[in-house]
Structure 1
Amino acid sequence: MSKIIFLDVDGTLIDYEAKCPASAKEAVDKARAAGNKVYICTGCSKAEILQRDLPELDGMIGGNGAYVEDEGKVVMHQGLSAEDTRKIVDWCNEHHLGFYLESNEGMFCNDYMIEQGPEVMVKYAQGKGASLEDASASSQMFLSQMIHLKGDDLYRDDVNKISFILSSYQDHLDSKKDFPELVANTWGGKGEHALYGDLGPTGITKKHAIDVLLKHLNADQKDTISFGDAKIDLSMFELCNYNVAMGNGGKEIKEAADYITADVNDDGLYKAFEHLHLMG
């Protein structure tokens, strides 16, 4: 019986320096050739994904569930309202926090992101195991993909979610208090240390997006398998029938998994696909 496979991207399909292991590409190619469908299910928006060197896929879920695409067709797209985006932009600027707007058209950042981003992205990559040299290169590459906007140009109407640098964990708590109608998350380095907060539309999760896609495909939940490495992937695990945590994953995702594979850079995806007989 063919399966529907959902892959988180950072730390699962690609490493924390945005490199996709050759074995991961081979695993996806072989799984699709064997008749399975493979989708990414990521916090990234489409513009960021298009800059990654990924294998061919059947579609994607982006923005932590805000965007669903199947074979090039948009199945669902529910981002932030223009009013919510304006409020978050103003809130971040008032708090002197670097942020970037995650849109399918690009990643758009403010002045503070240009100032604060390099150091924080180095911390992120080092926390995931990169050397200082590799972390610095990864940080420069990530920031080079952003489009720097000023003033009213940041008030966009096509934003899936907004990520912002945390000067302290209190910024995340304040965002939850000041935007109770939105979903607030954190993400970061080693042990998922909170380096960033993000805000997205309510009701939008990876779980909800997978449910929408399964209904579009007229597919059965019992045929689903998900792969992840972080707390944000727990909602995938709630819906999918079988769940795999990466060896580099955090404690909570491993405890929720049916199977734990090797690290992303130790052919973890290929080994799991092999274990589950997904490659024919």
Structure 2
Amino acid sequence: MQPYYIFLDVDGTLVTYNNELPESAVGAIKAAQANGHKVFTVTGRSKAEMYEDILDIGFDGYIGGNGSYIETDEHVIADRKLSAKDTRMIVDWLYENGLEFYLEGNIGLFASERFEVEAERPLQLYAAKKGKEQPNQVRVKDVFPEMIFGEQPYRNDINKISFILNAYEDYLKAKDQFSNFKVGTWGGVGETALFGDISLKNINKSSAIQQLLNHFGASNEATIAFGDAKVDIPMLEHCSIGVAMGNGGPEIKNASDYITDDVEQDGLYKAFKYFDLI
């Protein structure tokens, strides 16, 4: 079998919504690499959120910030950041509108003063939506164990900024205010969204995958992507094979070529077996 370029979302695909990493997934990745395939993570997480248990797997590369950062073999292919001026402008607007936030960079996640308090309830609601047991016990440090508090928010090393939505109108106001940026939501669909985020325009997972393939001089003929959320649909459609996790929503399942089991039910391993990657 010809070698494949394999692209994996992280949350809900590689790890469970409780941040648990199935041993079967680790074994499948290592076996696929032993068979000559290359395996990459493609995630909204900044590198600061790629904790040791994930990095220790030994991926062939990493796409983070939903495409703003790309590296392989310790070589940085792309690193697109918000400018210091833009970061300051966004932070000031969030302060003015009473919206708690955190800045996402490769060296850390930097939270606003009251984020740990104000984010607890929306994170609990998000955990409940994802089926986590006892969601009311979720704390910010459970979700972001290495989040940094008390640092200066005016920085020049930030890829993306996420903020709590006190109401859906906060997203609409941000979208209008920052029309030159990419403004999105997460934690729900439409008015059920819990968080907003702001990043540079014209960056997504599929464009980053293509940039990585260009680096290797490869086409997308032998590519396979795995995901569970709407944000993953472009990369599933871009790759020759798109696989949706069983725990994914109806939109990504409709856009996929194959649906595997839930991440908790060894879905990644089973799909690797199905496609003869291992």
Q: Same fold (TM over 0.5)?
A: yes
Per the alignment, residue 45 of structure 1 pairs with 46
Change in Cα spacing, 1:145 to 1:205, as seen in structure 2 (3 Å) is same
* Secondary structure at 2:246 match in 1: coil
Give, in angstroms, the shift of residue 186 of structure 1: 1.1
Per the alignment, residue 229 of structure 1 pairs with 228
Aligned amino acid, residue 196 of structure 1: F
Check conservation: 1:41, 1:62, Cα contact below 8 A: yes
Per the alignment, residue 131 of structure 1 pairs with 133
Per the alignment, residue 201 of structure 1 pairs with 200
* Secondary structure at 1:92 match in 2: helix
Give, in angstroms, the shift of residue 238 of structure 1: 3.0
How many percent identity over aligned positions?
47
- Between 1:84-93 and 1:252-261, the stretch displaced more is 84-93
Per the alignment, residue 8 of structure 2 pairs with 7
Give, in angstroms, the shift of residue 191 of structure 1: 10
Give, in angstroms, the shift of residue 51 of structure 1: 4.7
Aligned amino acid, residue 24 of structure 2: S
Give, in angstroms, the shift of residue 79 of structure 1: 1.4
Unaligned runs of 5+ in 2: none
- Between 1:91-100 and 1:5-14, the stretch displaced more is 91-100
Q: Give me the whole-angstrom Cα distance separating, in 2, the residues matched to 1:142 and 1:51.
A: 15
* Secondary structure at 1:111 match in 2: coil
Change in Cα spacing, 1:42 to 1:123, as seen in structure 2 (3 Å) is same
Give, in angstroms, the shift of residue 173 of structure 1: 1.3
Aligned amino acid, residue 239 of structure 1: H
Per the alignment, residue 245 of structure 1 pairs with 244
Per the alignment, residue 109 of structure 1 pairs with 111
Change in Cα spacing, 1:143 to 1:37, as seen in structure 2 (3 Å) is closer
Per the alignment, residue 22 of structure 1 pairs with 23
Change in Cα spacing, 1:89 to 1:179, as seen in structure 2 (3 Å) is same
Q: Give me the whole-angstrom Cα distance separating, in 2, the residues matched to 1:117 and 1:216.
A: 39
Change in Cα spacing, 1:182 to 1:190, as seen in structure 2 (3 Å) is closer
Check conservation: 2:141, 2:147, Cα contact below 8 A: no
Per the alignment, residue 94 of structure 1 pairs with 96
Q: Give me the whole-angstrom Cα distance separating, in 2, the residues matched to 1:120 and 1:144.
A: 17
Per the alignment, residue 73 of structure 1 pairs with 75
Give, in angstroms, the shift of residue 189 of structure 1: 5.2
2:260 corresponds to 1:257: no
Check conservation: 1:45, 1:63, Cα contact below 8 A: yes
Aligned amino acid, residue 3 of structure 2: S
Per the alignment, residue 273 of structure 1 pairs with 272
Give, in angstroms, the shift of residue 266 of structure 1: 0.7
Q: Give me the whole-angstrom Cα distance separating, in 2, the residues matched to 1:50 and 1:57.
A: 13
Give, in angstroms, the shift of residue 117 of structure 1: 1.5
TM-score (norm 2): 0.94
Change in Cα spacing, 1:40 to 1:192, as seen in structure 2 (3 Å) is farther
Give the root-mean-square deviation of aligned CA atoms.
Answer: 1.8
* Secondary structure at 2:221 match in 1: helix
Check conservation: 1:17, 1:138, Cα contact below 8 A: no
Q: Give me the whole-angstrom Cα distance separating, in 2, the residues matched to 1:275 and 1:226.
A: 14
Runs of 4 or more, structure 1, over 4 Å off, are: 189-193
Per the alignment, residue 219 of structure 2 pairs with 220
Q: Give me the whole-angstrom Cα distance separating, in 2, the residues matched to 1:241 and 1:93.
A: 44
* Secondary structure at 2:66 match in 1: coil
Per the alignment, residue 140 of structure 1 pairs with 141
